[in-house]
């Protein structure tokens, strides 16, 4: 079975993330959606909340598992038996950072490839940062995040 890892902070998960997860799930037998535990970055939502929101948002996809990790992504991917790291690209400016990370990961473990998914055009504007800003200003999140995430965000702001 071909296994892939889709890492991210998912703070919060957006419909753009879910789109990439759905598409990756059609190409790989198993997709681990791996929430990064980064002690250097203060998250809007606690790790357990981010994982729960992801589990609810992806429960309709049978070959997806939500997990978390800390440390090097390539070490986590190797532990899971993954042959690929999934990354989403929204706009051209994403590519510079993602290209650098892909080359670094290849240097660390040349057996694991990075596979890029271009976001669906209807989500190209969307980012977790933008969603948080809209939520703080009590704007509507319809179509930007899964319903369970919109409900959770109303309870936090």
Q: How far apart are CA 150 and CA 153, in angstroms?
A: 5
Phi-psi region of 46 (alpha: psi -120 to 50; beta: other; left: phi over 0): beta
* From 26, 41, 107, 138, active-site residue: 41
90 is catalytic: yes
* From 17, 50, 87, 152, active-site residue: 17
* From 25, 50, 68, 90, active-site residue: 90
70 is catalytic: no
DSSP H/E element including 35 = strand 30-36
* From 25, 50, 68, 128, active-site residue: 128
* Cβ count near 148 (within 10 Å): 17
41 is catalytic: yes
Q: How far apart are CA 77 and CA 95, in angstroms?
A: 21
Q: Are 121 and 88 spatial neighbours (Cβ–Cβ below 8 Å)?
A: no
Catalogue the active-site residues. Answer: 17, 41, 90, 128
């Amino acid at each position: 079975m071909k296994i892939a890892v889709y890492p991210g902070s998912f703070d919060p998960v957006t419909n753009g993330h879910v789109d990439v997860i759905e598409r990756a799930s059609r190409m790989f037998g198993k997709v681990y959606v791996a929430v990064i535990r980064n002690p250097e970055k203060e998250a809007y939502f606690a790790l357990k909340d981010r994982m729960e929101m992801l589990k609810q948002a992806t429960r309709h996809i049978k070959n997806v598992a939500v997990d978390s990790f800390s440390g090097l992504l390539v070490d986590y991917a190797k532990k899971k038996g993954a042959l690929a790291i999934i990354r989403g690209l929204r706009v051209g400016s994403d590519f510079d950072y993602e290209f650098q990370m892909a080359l670094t990961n290849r240097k660390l473990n040349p057996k694991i490839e990075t596979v890029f998914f271009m976001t669906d055009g209807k989500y190209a504007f969307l980012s977790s940062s933008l969603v948080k800003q809209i939520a703080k200003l009590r704007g509507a999140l319809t179509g930007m995040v899964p319903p369970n995430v919109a409900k959770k965000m109303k309870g936090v702001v």
